[in-house]
Amino acid sequence: MPLIKLRKFIEKFYLAFTRILPPEFAKNLTLFFLKIIYQFNLLNLFSYSNSINLPKIELAGIKFKNKIGIAGGLDKNAEFFHIFGHLGFGFVEVGTVTLEPQKGNPKPRLFRFVRDKTLVNTLGFNNSGAVKILKNIKKFKPEFNGVLGVSIGKSKNTKLKNAWKDYLHLMDYFFLEADYLAINISSPNTKNLRELSSNENVDFLLKKISEKKTQLYNLHKKKTPIFLKISPDESDINLKNIIQVAEKNNLDGFICTNTSVNHGYKVSGGMSGSLLSNKSLIIQQKVSELKSDKSILIASGGIMSKDDVEDRFLHSADLVQLYTGYIYYGNTLLKEALKVSSS
Ligand SMILES: Cc1cc2nc3c(=O)[nH]c(=O)nc-3n(C[C@H](O)[C@H](O)[C@H](O)COP(=O)(O)O)c2cc1C
């Protein structure tokens, strides 16, 4: 059997196998296997990094080897980003990181709806905390040939009025090591987090973040662009305000979108995957109309096929992030996405 066919067969078989396992366990097992394959130097068998001639691009001062990345939350603790880079991804957003380690919400907290090709998660920022994650980044960065984003969020126990302090403190930790920072105020699984995007709160928070960005730039003479991750459940009025306030405060772009709490499943949490696709694209289109040309637009949410990737680029996305689509379709989707992004 030729190598490509064998590779496809193994991937298909493995993806089918993981669907009979509990979803969170399947995800962790897959990451574990990837690490083993990488350590035994066999990752090249599954890698697409050299198979397609991809034009390099520069956005917000960062050079990307290609336009396809991994969305926040797949590599929560920055233990696998270098491996995703070798698989062919141009950028990886690690985290969301909080200041202190957090266990997240009780299990089960990840639900799979195979027929709809969706997931619902209520993880709640389970992560090893800033100190450990910074260590991991320093350890694996020399093996990484891509762009590293670090997503930051407030701790579960931090009161809303003090949330800005968490974000500023996290900027201190990651400003130097990250190629960009993603501000997560759109996850539905940390109580009250989304209130940070309301009119009363977002101006204050983004002003503080902007001041800190200038301060850190003056100190280190390094530019670290800051992107804001947007909820797909945002109202039109709020969306308009968020974009205005973010641009007024010199943020560098938007990630559209996080997961949605508006779904019909009998479990609570944020839905991702196929049924998010339309909603996410609509928000992306609105943001694209509201934002100025200089802001970067990163598409995330229900990108499950090469048509979805094409659509996102057609509607002004500069970059595309995969998550649930990659869980369902693996490297086949990555390969198709890379092809579309290069045409
Ligand atoms: C299990 C799971 C965990 C996630 N954790 C995070 C996270 O920690 N930070 C974040 O910004 N987004 C997180 N997300 C949201 C994804 O980054 C992405 O924006 C969302 O799932 C929509 O894309 P998709 O439909 O391609 O999955 C998570 C999504 C899933 C499914």
Which of 61, 58, 57, 97 shows the shortest CA–CA distance to 81? Answer: 97
Mean pLDDT of the chain: 93
- Cα angle vertex 340, ends 282, 320, to 5°? 45
- Round the CA-based radius of gyration of the chain to a whole number and report it: 19
The pLDDT of residue 186 is 86
Atom 21, ligand 1: residue with shortest CA distance = 272
Which tens digits make up the pLDDT trace of 208-250? Answer: 999 999 999 999 999 999 999 999 999 999 999 999 999 999 9
In angstroms, the CA 64 to CA 298 distance is 13
Burial string for 308-322 (b: 16+ CB within 10 Å, else e) reads bbbbbbebebbbbbb
Which of 156, 189, 162, 178 shows the shortest CA–CA distance to 258? Answer: 189
The pLDDT of residue 343 is 75
Which tens digits make up the pLDDT trace of 310-334? Answer: 999 999 999 999 999 999 998 889 9
Which tens digits make up the pLDDT trace of 244-295? Answer: 999 999 999 999 999 999 999 999 999 999 999 999 999 999 999 999 999 9
Atom 22, ligand 1: residue with shortest CA distance = 301
The pLDDT of residue 117 is 95
Q: Residues 201, 164: contact at Cβ < 8 Å?
A: no
CA 30 from centre of chain: 18
The pLDDT of residue 50 is 59
pLDDT of residue 53 exceeding 80, the answer is no
Q: Which of 79, 322, 323, 329 is the pocket-test mutation for ligand 1 (most atoms within 8 Å of CB)?
A: 323
Which tens digits make up the pLDDT trace of 143-163? Answer: 999 999 999 999 999 999 999
Ligand 1 geometric centre to CA of 270 (Å):
8
Give pTM, 2 decimals.
Answer: 0.96
The pLDDT of residue 24 is 92
Tell me what the mean pLDDT of segment 35-63 comes to: 81
Which tens digits make up the pLDDT trace of 92-122? Answer: 999 999 999 999 999 999 999 999 999 999 9
Which tens digits make up the pLDDT trace of 121-131? Answer: 999 999 999 99
Which tens digits make up the pLDDT trace of 242-252? Answer: 999 999 999 99
pLDDT of residue 48 exceeding 80, the answer is no
What is the torsional sign of CA 325, 326, 330, 334?
positive
The pLDDT of residue 9 is 82
Q: Which of 84, 105, 196, 258 is the pocket-test mutation for ligand 1 (most atoms within 8 Å of CB)?
A: 258
The pLDDT of residue 62 is 95
Atom 8, ligand 1: residue with shortest CA distance = 73
**Residues involved in catalysis:** 187
Ligand 1 geometric centre to CA of 260 (Å):
10
Q: Which two three-digit tokens encode residue 69?
A: 């990345």
Give the pocket of ligand 1 (CB within 6 Å).
71-73, 76, 95-96, 110, 119, 121, 123, 125, 151, 184, 187, 229, 258-259, 272-273, 276, 300-303, 322-325
In angstroms, the CA 99 to CA 167 distance is 9
Q: Which domains does the chain have, with CATH numbers?
A: 51-342 (3.20.20.70)
The pLDDT of residue 197 is 83
The pLDDT of residue 316 is 95
Q: Which of 259, 262, 298, 300 is the pocket-test mutation for ligand 1 (most atoms within 8 Å of CB)?
A: 259
pLDDT of residue 41 exceeding 90, the answer is no
The pLDDT of residue 42 is 81
